Amino acid sequence: MVAGLGDEMAAGLAGRGRMRASNADREQAIDTLKAAFVQGRLAKDEFDLRVGQAFASRTYGELSAATADLPAEPTAAPPPTAMPARADGDQPVLRPGRVIMVATALYAGVWPFTFLVPWPTNSEGEAPGAIVALFVSTTLIYMFVLVTAVGYMIAGWHQKRSGGRPPRRLAPGAGGQQ
């Protein structure tokens, strides 16, 4: 049998069950309840009920009743991993939002370079062909990157939505056709 905070309080404070509990005592009990909830020892509705009971407790006896069946110290949980490990040969995860952000920043840098710098013009008043080619090519590249990244975003959204399962294939002759 695991000794709970309530058992510990009752044993350590024998005869003090009717003594008034302080706010710090209530906070300690609520911290124990939070740890138990995170560890899966309490359901959400039971956690809410016990936290309300802890806040309403005036004495050590009432407070210990809210935590009597819980361990006094939370058991150590393994630290969460930042990212799941990739299997060998798996492709790295593409972050389309970051790709779009970098491409937009680069493309935005081309605009002032092509339009704000006073380039020498030819006798007809036209800008140099290299500058026009730079602007057109960066625009086409930016559009390609944008469409590709949005495609990856949509594919990722579909994969999350389907839970990673491939699309369901219908048997030949199925699909509502008679």
**pLDDT recorded at residue 169:** 66
CA distance 118 to 120: 7
pLDDT at position 143 is: 92
Alpha carbon distance 145, 104 (integer Å): 10
- Average pLDDT score over residue span 144-173: 77
DSSP secondary structure of 24-53: HHHHHHHHHHHHHHHTTSS-HHHHHHHHHH
CB atoms under 10 Å from CB of 21, counted, come to 21
Report the Cα–Cα distance between both ends of the chain, in Å, rounded: 65
Query: How long a stretch of residues is the chain?
Result: 178
pLDDT higher than 70, residue 85: no
pLDDT at 114 over 70: yes
Q: For residue range 115-158, list pLDDT tens digits in order.
A: 787 777 777 777 778 888 888 899 999 999 889 888 888 888 88
